[in-house]
Structure 1
Amino acid sequence: MSKKYQCIQSENCKQAVIFARVSSKEQEPGASLDAQHDIMAEYCQKRGLAVLKNYRVIESSTVGKRTKFNEMLEFVKKQKQKTAIVVHCIDRFQRRFNECVAVEGLLKEDKIELHFYKEGLILNQNSSSADIMRWDMGILSAKMYIASMRDNVNRSMNYNWSLGKWQGRAPIGYLNTRDETNKATVIADPERAPIVKKLFEEYATGCHSLRSIWKLAQEMNLDSFRSKTKKSISRVAVYNMLTNPFYYGEMVVKGQVIPHIYEPLIDKSLFDKVQDLLSGKKIHCKEQVYGGLPFAFRGLIKCAHCGCTLSEETHKKTNGKTYTYLRCGRLKGPCDQELVSESVILNQLDEEVFSKIRINSDIVELLKKNIQQRLIDEEKVNAVMKRQITNEIEKLNVRERRVKDVFFDGGIDRSEWEEEKVNIEAKRKELQKTIEKYADITQEIKDTVNDVLDIAASASMIMKTSDPLQKRELLGLLLSDCYLDGQKLIYKIQKPFDKLLVGSKFEGIVDFHKENIAAFSSLANDIHVYHENMKRLAVGC
């Protein structure tokens, strides 16, 4: 059936691009790319429009940067002759007003025409206000359709939550699947569910830190989600798992805890015990033991050959003395790593680390004084810069309000207002990004600087005189990524302690805080835990 068009095509418009779009591959057949293209190709042939390029686009019109859409606009901009953009209907072209500024600019420059087949509407430089209004109403109708779909989705999700049904990716230890009626459901993962339960039970003993339970999860090959790469689980993921009520039968939805209908992996009493340990309401056992005895390197070192965590064990010699050795657990099969005496590793660390950070009390106090003064100076500079940038942002806000008033008063047209608004927003984002560089230097960071120096000064003495558990607390704070290769320990020193391995040459140490503010900030909580554990071990509770 032929269409009637309210606007007559300009005589000099002899070429076109076809723009066919769907949001995803799961679109209804009537809106498929092939169907759109065939209809518009026939349309162009009847109107004598030479098709320069076909765009078959799978992208959302409301989410993301609309890469293909912008690519199409750039293409027609470069054409020497006016080009018609032929689209099946308005909502295939756009579902929001964001693109109107660029498109209206091309219409006013007489670079393009818009041909909307379904609506029987053609827009060009000379289009009437009534036709422009039809375009705007078409966009508004598309926006209302999207909003209605969003409301339906939210309504469906709220209904499912009220029935105790989970929406989204299942937590670690569960699987998303479909039941016998082909409806989405969640079941316990036969492979990972037993591991999750075991980790809860292990942590509830009180003989694990978050770090050691994380390492145990990695040893048990617990991955965050099923994938081809089997990505190793992160410490944050382990913490989130231990604090997720889903495992005992409840789920968190919009800040509220409600029952769900799926199989629990643990009971609530076990979950509550874990929460008490995580929050500090209950104290971990004095000796986080391995094999019933405390060891300095328990859980800290992995085998460089197979990746298994090394265990420690004691051997009693004929002379009556007891010696401690590190052994590969060989959980992954045969391994060439030999038995190594703990004293060999301690001697290596003393030579490479602890002998190089021996700082007497006078130098420590001098360093503290100098660094604290530099932090104060840095804080003042940051405050001045942040104040200046804040003033610039406020000026932009004032300018935006003024330009808006001019627009509503009729002093500028819509395209000029939109262009100025985009420029202002770009400048504002740039300033906000700049202000982030001038981080706040909190009292916590200042205290952490002093703690780092105190710990460094006492490290050598702790390693020579303290019991194995106190040594382990210090080693866990200072070292990371520890691997044993033969008789040699491979390791990294945590920031910012690595900046103190300079013997007696302290030039530049007073400046190391400038590039390590983030390191101090992230270390604050670890140092707090270190002090608490050292106090508890010192009094034997």
Structure 2
Amino acid sequence: MKKADLYIRVSTDEQADKGYSQRNQEEILLRFCEINKIEVRKVIYEDHSAKTFNRPRWQELLFEAKKTKGRHIDLILFTKWDRFSRNAGDAYQMMNTLNGLGIEPQAIEQPLDLSIPENKMMLAIYLAAPEVENDRRALNVFHGMRRARKEGRWMASAPIGYINRTTENGRKYIAPKEPECSILKWSFEKLASSEFSSEQIWKVAHQKGLKCAKNNFLIAIRNPVYYGKITIPKYKNEDSYLVQGQHEPLISERLFNDVQDALDGRKRKPGIKIMSLDELPLRGYLLCSRCARILTGSASKGRNHYYYYYHCSSQCGCRYKAEDVNEALLTELKKYSLAYDYKELCTKILINVYNNITHGAKDGRKSVLMQIDEQNDRLRKARELMLTSKIEPEDYSIIKKETEINLNKLEAKLTDFAQNPIKLDELLVRAVDILCGIAMLYQNADNEGKRAIIGSMFPEKLHFDGQQHRTTRINEVARCIQLISSSLQGKKRRARTEESALPTWVRPPGLEPGTKRL
């Protein structure tokens, strides 16, 4: 009597759509074995796709058959050939493997005597039909998903910073997820400034609560979904392009383009900054007074606590106590603190200076419009050269693609100008107010805030000679305010001196030399 293993396979969609239940297959196979007097050794249940033979229970069956060299089994029975495989190439290879072990696979509802050559044609039809069905289904799904992408829908698991949602009518979409979306906004802003490397920003974002690996973070910051666009991948003769998405963007297109320029090296980098300890806020901003190298910082362990130093990485031996260096910078910042009495007057002077320089023109917007005209002119010239056969159509396509990319970036900047007009009055009032208490603001700020103040106040590195800080450049607004403050204080001192030198009969009553007027 022949021995057989019964192989029963279904997939979830087949059970729902076609009714291929395991119980139904089992009844048909057991009845067939009973009629044909075949001994059933075991029944194998599989819930897996038949696209490949990389199925858990099938692999167990194959491993056991190879181990025993097929001595305990003569047949593997299933209802139809699509239960065996939906890939003709893999099916022929597996049949050769089983035949080598002396095992015959057979579909009881589509029986074939494979010793007859003509039956192999029927076998090819039985195996090819489910494969064609699979391919057609996959193609329909692909075209459906591509159509949905063109409509601006995100057709995958939500990217970092978003979460999958479903409306009341069953329509799926992605929505911002806190706190990840806020952390990503912060990451994009820091990347656009080119102050820190992407790895440093990822580490801080991870500490803030962004749950993603470094590679996923690097992929995310290249994804246009964050400024509201969906990528349509290249397919056949259709090039890849972007469409407006139906989801809420996290950042502006201009910010995204600035980040890409910074990552690709097209944006001038002022020098990658480094993360620093709270006790060493000046790390990376100081130059050695002996060899002009950048000073680093570290801690030395004492008996009871750590002592922090700024020191040179070379052998020159330059070394300063961090406490003295930090205190000297605070003293330096006090020189730029503006007296509150002059705040309103200083603001008016700065606004007048700005208006005299720019004459009220929107220089940024005007520059962008000029660049747009240049790109359109370039495209027009390239079109004329192609029409006169001076350049090939392929070269024109390359020029057109490059020009369209540049135009998209410029139009994003123009849109940003329209949405975020510069309100100089408000900005200057805030800036002057900050400079009035810059020393106190620095003293109370956290480490990141201190480094931001240093970087904005001093565009170039600082020299510390052991007592005070020196630099060749200072922020233009801070320098201008310092000059105005010094000038106003000088005029006030001169006025007091002149008033005290007046005869008693000219001096206002009750005002003695050296007293202040109320």
* TM-score, with length taken from structure 1: 0.49
In structure 2, how many angstroms separate the alpha carbons of the residues matched to 1:461 and 1:257?
A: 55
Matched, 1:196 2:184: yes
Give the secondary structure class of the aligned counterpart of 1:342: strand
In structure 1, how many angstroms separate the alpha carbons of the residues matched to 2:279 and 2:12?
A: 52
Give the drift of 1:64. Answer: 6.2
Structure 1, unpaired ranges of 5+ = 1-12, 225-232, 289-297, 301-308, 315-322, 328-336, 351-458, 469-535
Which amino acid in 1 is paired with 2:264?
A: S
Give the secondary structure class of the aligned counterpart of 2:141: helix
Give the drift of 1:70. Answer: 4.2
Give the 5 Å matches for 1:70-469.
70-76=59-65, 78-80=69-71, 83-96=74-87, 97-104=89-96, 106-107=98-99, 111-119=102-110, 121-123=111-113, 127-224=115-212, 233-234=213-214, 236-254=215-233, 255-285=240-270, 288=273, 298-299=274-275, 312-313=280-281, 340-342=307-309, 460-461=314-315, 464=318
Q: Contact 1:249–1:264 at 8 Å: present in 2 too? A: yes
Give the secondary structure class of the aligned counterpart of 1:52: strand
Deviations 1:353-396 (A, max 9, x none): xxxxxxxxxxxxxxxxxxxxxxxxxxxxxxxxxxxxxxxxxxxx
Structure 2, unpaired ranges of 5+ = 234-239, 283-294, 323-459, 463-470, 474-518
In structure 2, how many angstroms separate the alpha carbons of the residues matched to 1:64 and 1:268?
A: 46
Deviations 1:410-449 (A, max 9, x none): xxxxxxxxxxxxxxxxxxxxxxxxxxxxxxxxxxxxxxxx
Which amino acid in 1 is paired with 2:173?
A: T
Deviations 1:131-155 (A, max 9, x none): 3322221001111111111111111
Change (3 A) 1:112 1:276: closer
In structure 2, how many angstroms separate the alpha carbons of the residues matched to 1:105 and 1:281?
A: 57
Q: Contact 1:215–1:299 at 8 Å: present in 2 too? A: no
* TM-score, with length taken from structure 2: 0.51
Partner of 2:443: none
C-alpha root-mean-square deviation of aligned residues, in Å? 3.8
Partner of 1:42: 31
Give the secondary structure class of the aligned counterpart of 1:190: coil
In structure 2, how many angstroms separate the alpha carbons of the residues matched to 1:84 and 1:64?
A: 18
In structure 2, how many angstroms separate the alpha carbons of the residues matched to 1:168 and 1:311?
A: 46
Change (3 A) 1:169 1:146: same
Give the drift of 1:19. Answer: 0.5
In structure 2, how many angstroms separate the alpha carbons of the residues matched to 1:150 and 1:462?
A: 69
Deviations 1:90-121 (A, max 9, x none): 001011222323424644x69233331332x1
Q: Contact 2:95–2:105 at 8 Å: present in 1 too? A: no
Q: Contact 1:325–1:340 at 8 Å: present in 2 too? A: no
Give the 5 Å matches for 1:470-481.
none
Number of matched residues? Answer: 302
Which amino acid in 2 is paired with 1:299?
A: M
Change (3 A) 1:25 1:326: farther
Change (3 A) 1:203 1:145: same
What is the percentage of aligned positions where both structures have the same residue?
A: 24
Higher radius of gyration, 1 or 2: 2
Which amino acid in 2 is paired with 1:15?
A: K
Q: Contact 2:197–2:272 at 8 Å: present in 1 too? A: no
Q: Contact 2:149–2:230 at 8 Å: present in 1 too? A: no
Give the secondary structure class of the aligned counterpart of 1:98: helix
In structure 2, how many angstroms separate the alpha carbons of the residues matched to 1:464 and 1:238?
A: 39
Give the drift of 1:281. Answer: 2.8
